[in-house]
Structure 1
Amino acid sequence: MGADDRESIAQAPNIINDPDAIARKEAENALRQFDAVLDIIDEVARDGRPFKLRPSLILALHRLALADLSPYAGVFRPGSVSIGKSRHQPPPAHLVPSLIEEMCDYVNDHWQSEALHLCAYVMWRLNWIHPFTDGNGRTSRAMSYVVLCCRIGDRLPGRQTIPEAISNNKTPYYEALEAADEAFTKGPVDVSKLQELLKTYLAQQLKSVFEDALAEGGNNSSDRKFH
């Protein structure tokens, strides 16, 4: 976790206390979580079935992110939580299940909306609800990417995915989340700033396909960061 990262602050026991061991496990879990993301997208693309966002899917992705790190992996937080370096105070724990259901209903009811809007909405709303003791950002970025690709109907090509681009520099992402939070305190949902940021990252992801097609050999591999 970087020095500028927003961190969930909750009363939750740690399974691992060594910082290096935590970092290694987080990296392993992030790869497993992203493999699951790709499997979900491939299943939807292969079967051609309508995608439905369900709480069980969100919980499953969170379970992968926090496996062997938290006793609350794959379950909603049992108590209150705050977010370091953020003005937003997440709702009480007893409201989390119904708020998650409402978020899923919004996506399913508005499935014909623009793909990037649905992606931005899920990314913001999951962070706003902050349903877990930890791993909220990782799960929101993974889940929103599932929604984006499933709405489009297939995996998106590209060297660096949107979740990776965000993880490499989280400051613009945090600023966009804060803008959506601020707008929501004054009126209707407005995720336009986050949507524009995601549009930029999507353009970069797709541009890399063109660049790789033009390149004559070379090694484009790099360390991948998803959290």
Structure 2
Amino acid sequence: MEHFAKIDELLIKLNSYRPLTEGELQRIREEFLISFTYNSNAIEGNTLTLQETALVIKEGITIDKKPLKDHLEAVGHKEAWHYVEELVKQKDQMSEKVIKEIHSLVLMDKREDRGVYRRVPVTIMGATNTPPQPYQVPLQMEQLILRYQQPTQLHTLERVALFHLEFEAIHPFIDGNGRTGRLLLNTELMKEGYPPIDIKFSDRKRYYDCFKSYHSDGNNPLEMVSLVKEYVEEELTRYLELIMMANNDF
């Protein structure tokens, strides 16, 4: 566990400070939501810019010449994020019901597919694995949740990274798997006291390579664990700087 020592140290240090006020937290959360929605949707092909995403989310403005689908994806992701924040507050356990509810909010533009496991086979472009046949999905999802709930020696970051890899490998829905998976990843991080992470659109090649590496290297999650760890460390450091500034502790 030695390689997580720095992360754990940062988390302890962050928790030792007087927390930010509700207003300060609100501001940070709002900025994160806009950036996370932009990046997570952009990874899946959404064409809204960061600024346009902010206008859609905050002002409800329609962007000229941009598809309705892109607007609905931004609004759906925002709604799903608010639902995730509630889950974290309630400390709700990971379950198929939670996954389907997050997916239902994410897939605002495709009413009939919301929260429904896929009924057709799929292939993932450029992937080194083939997702299971539709009839295998319910059982594999059930097993994934059971595995995740088992006591383990793994560090939280290893657990959530592995869950993300396995969830995306099952590819349980016809669409919206990536966005749902990243929201689930953040749900689990936040429940354990870590800040949420925002995997950047500009980092998407490395992100995709984590999946390739997992499937071509005997299900070794190391690359994804490293990616998650880097992002968490970056967020913890940023939060710590903000909170030290707020506490006048330089």
**Structure 1 length as normaliser, TM-score?**
0.75
Q: Which residue of 1 aligns with 2:176?
A: 135
Q: Give distance in 1, aligned partners of 2:209 and 2:150.
A: 28
Aligned residues: 188
Aligned to 2:87: 40
Q: 1:91 & 1:19 partners in 2: Cα distance?
A: 34
Give distance in 1, aligned partners of 2:45 and 2:67.
19
Partner of 2:186: 145
- For 1:70 and 1:168, locate their aligned partners in 2 and report how far apart those are by CA, in whole Å: 30
Contact 2:157 2:225 in 1 (8 A): yes
Pick closer, same or farther for the CA change 1:6–1:87 going to 2, 3 Å: farther
| Counterpart mapping for 1:148-167 below 5 A | 148-150=189-191, 152=192, 154=193, 156-157=194-195, 161-162=196-197, 164-167=198-201
Matches within 5 A, 1:3-42: 5=44, 20-42=67-89
Is it true that 1:170 corresponds to 2:211 in the alignment? Answer: no
Match of 1:210 among 232, 237, 240: 240
Q: Distance in 2 between matches of 1:19 and 1:96?
A: 34
2:221 match: 191
Is the CA contact (8 Å cut-off) linking 1:118 and 1:147 kept in structure 2?
no
C-alpha change, 1:88 and 1:202, in structure 2 (3 Å) is same
Match of 2:154, SS state, is coil
> Which AA in structure 2 matches 1:42?
K
Question: For residues 113 and 133 of structure 1, do their structure 2 counterparts lie closer, same or farther at Cα, with a shift above 3 Å needed?
Answer: same
Pairs within 5 Å for 1:43-122: 43-44=90-91, 52-110=93-151, 113-122=154-163
Q: Residue type of the partner of 1:23?
A: D
Structure 2: how far apart are the matches of 1:111 and 1:59? Answer: 25
- Larger Rg belongs to: 2
Does structure 1 residue 180 correspond to structure 2 residue 214? yes
Identity of aligned pairs, percent?
A: 22
Unaligned runs of 5+ in 2: 1-40, 47-64
Using the TM superposition, give the Cα deviation of residue 76 of structure 1 relative to its aligned residue in structure 2, in angstroms.
0.2
**Superposed CA RMSD:** 2.3
Could you tell me whether the CA contact under 8 Å between 2:80 and 2:102 is conserved in 1? yes
Alpha-carbon distance in structure 1 between the residues aligned to 2:216 and 2:151: 23
Residue type at the aligned position of 2:74:
A
Compute the displacement of 1:68 (Å): 3.2
- The answer to which structure has the higher helix fraction is 2
Distance 2:175 2:139 in 1: 19
